[in-house]
């Protein structure tokens, strides 16, 4: 390893350790077991070498936003035992490919996408992405439409829970709102819906206090992203 790669490796390891201890502290102060919480490293725009550095520091779950970018990294890292998460917006025409590449899809927001995923890989684990505030800039479906989507998708994919990205400044109340929606839907559908994928660099501790089972953290581990940078 070159010196600079060595330094980068140590930096990622240090930041990862710090995020892990913050996760554990947030879990303990809300009376939860830290092992209930999966840390997914959001690795969009990061080169395979950065993922490998995090892997060597113990990370196993990585979240990617673009199918094409993920497939390049998966090829480069094929010797590692990684659980791959898809956390970006999924287009129907990419769903078939995505189904074969990822262990958990966080961002199902239409019956068509769910049907395409299930056709390619029956019982693939998925989360429904909910747009709680009706923000036009964000993907996800309206809270009132989630039950209908679950009903039409549950035979083709395994609906394991919900995901959301809250409006800036509303993290805690929106996370609580998602958890309450999950509780109502679990009762009405009879599904466990045990996974809540909430929380990023700026709000993952709040998310854990509000019931997150999965947090998706990028900048706190990899450092600031370069705007517009994208690996193709």
Contact residues for ligand PLP, defined by CB under 6 A? 42, 44, 65, 87, 165, 200-201, 216-220
* 12 versus 156: smaller Cβ distance to ligand PLP: 12
Cβ at position 108, least distance to ligand PLP in Å: 13
* 44 versus 52: smaller Cβ distance to ligand PLP: 44
Cβ at position 187, least distance to ligand PLP in Å: 27
Cβ at position 221, least distance to ligand PLP in Å: 8
Hey, how many other C-beta atoms are within 10 angstroms of the C-beta on 10? Answer: 12
Segments in 81-203 forming alpha helices (H): 92-101, 111-120, 146-153, 171-189
Report how far residue 68's alpha carbon sits from residue 144's, in angstroms, rounded to the nearest whole number.
32
Residue nearest to ligand PLP (CB): 218
DSSP letter assigned to residue 130: B
Cβ at position 188, least distance to ligand PLP in Å: 27
* 159 versus 221: smaller Cβ distance to ligand PLP: 221
Cβ at position 200, least distance to ligand PLP in Å: 4
* 129 versus 209: smaller Cβ distance to ligand PLP: 129
* Beta strands, E only, the chain: 38-42, 61-64, 83-86, 104-108, 125-129, 158-163, 195-197, 214-217
Only one residue has tokens 């800036």, namely 168
Please say whether the dihedral angle defined by the alpha carbons of residues 51, 55, 57 and 62, taken in this order, is positive or negative: positive
DSSP output for 20-67: HHHHHHHHHHTT--GGG-EEEEE-TT--HHHHHHHHHTT--EEEES-H
Which of helix, strand or coil describes residue 135?
Answer: coil
* 69 versus 209: smaller Cβ distance to ligand PLP: 69
Exposure string of 13-26, with b = 16+ CB inside 10 Å and e = fewer, is bebbeebbebbbeb
* 99 versus 220: smaller Cβ distance to ligand PLP: 220
Cβ at position 205, least distance to ligand PLP in Å: 12
């Amino acid at each position: 390893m070159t010196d600079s790669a060595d330094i980068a490796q140590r930096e990622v390891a240090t930041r990862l350790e710090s995020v892990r201890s913050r996760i554990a502290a947030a879990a303990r102060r809300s009376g939860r077991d830290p092992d209930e919480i999966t840390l997914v490293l959001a690795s969009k725009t990061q080169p395979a070498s950065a993922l490998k550095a995090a892997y060597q520091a113990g990370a196993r779950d990585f979240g990617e936003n673009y199918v094409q970018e993920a497939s390049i990294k998966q090829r480069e890292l094929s010797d590692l035992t990684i659980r791959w998460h898809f956390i970006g917006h999924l287009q129907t025409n990419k769903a078939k490919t995505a189904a074969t590449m990822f262990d958990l899809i966080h961002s199902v927001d239409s019956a068509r996408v769910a049907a395409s995923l299930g056709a390619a890989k029956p019982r693939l684990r998925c989360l429904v992405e909910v747009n709680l505030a009706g923000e036009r800039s964000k993907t996800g479906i309206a809270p009132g439409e989630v039950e209908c989507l679950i009903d039409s998708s549950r035979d083709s994919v395994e609906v394991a829970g919900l995901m959301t990205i809250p409006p800036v400044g509303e993290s805690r109340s929106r996370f609580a709102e998602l958890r309450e929606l999950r509780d109502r839907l679990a009762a009405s559908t009879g599904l466990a819906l045990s996974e809540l994928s909430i929380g990023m660099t700026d709000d993952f501790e709040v998310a854990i206090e509000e019931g997150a089972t999965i947090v998706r953290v990028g900048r706190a581990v990899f450092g600031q992203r370069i705007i517009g940078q994208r690996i193709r």
